[in-house]
């Protein structure tokens, strides 16, 4: 039996990765969730955060940042649909810091519930993007 499964990671504006993988680890509402070959069929929500993707039998892990979405496993095919996805080298640190400061300022102001929730999401997105860049993106 093969240790590999087919995966496609789709954001609203691009395909982040499409190919074979050994393991995918992503943030879910109740903790980290891992998918490996021969995983049972499932649909799982994913949270904003960083994912870890292992594409070969070596110990090479790749990290990327994702927004909210879901992951579907069906007959050995994994599809991740998220609102955004970036490799660490695609994130501009200065821009992310500016976004974080802007979101913090908006949270300090009196706003509607909807504006507050949008500001919280913007802050979370900026904080994720500023977290630990690990490996270079896959070619």
Task: Decide: 21 and 8 in contact? Cβ < 8 Å.
Answer: no
| pLDDT at residue number 43 | 96
| pLDDT at residue number 96 | 66
pTM: 0.71
Please tell me whether residue 14 adopts helix, strand or coil conformation: coil
| Distance (Å, whole) CA 48 – CA 67 | 4
| pLDDT at residue number 56 | 83
| pLDDT at residue number 136 | 46
| pLDDT at residue number 42 | 95
Please tell me whether residue 120 adopts helix, strand or coil conformation: helix
Sign, CA dihedral 52-131-82-41, equals: positive
In tens digits, what is the pLDDT along the chain, a chain of 139 residues? 589 999 999 999 999 999 999 999 999 999 999 999 999 999 999 998 889 999 987 778 999 989 899 999 999 999 999 998 988 877 666 666 676 677 777 767 766 777 777 777 777 777 776 665 444 444 4
């Amino acid at each position: 039996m093969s240790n590999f499964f087919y995966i496609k990671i789709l954001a609203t504006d691009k395909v982040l990765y499409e190919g074979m993988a050994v393991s995918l680890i992503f943030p879910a509402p109740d903790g980290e969730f891992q998918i490996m070959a021969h995983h049972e069929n499932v649909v799982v929500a994913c949270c904003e955060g960083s994912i870890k993707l292992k594409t070969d039998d070596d110990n090479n892990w790749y990290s990327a940042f994702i927004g909210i979405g879901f992951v579907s496993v069906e007959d050995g095919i994994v599809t991740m649909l998220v609102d955004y996805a970036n490799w660490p080298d695609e994130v501009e640190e200065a821009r992310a810091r500016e976004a974080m400061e802007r979101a913090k300022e908006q949270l300090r102001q009196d706003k509607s519930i909807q504006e507050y929730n949008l500001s919280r999401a913007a802050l979370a997105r900026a904080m994720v993007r500023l977290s630990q860049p690990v490996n270079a993106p896959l070619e």
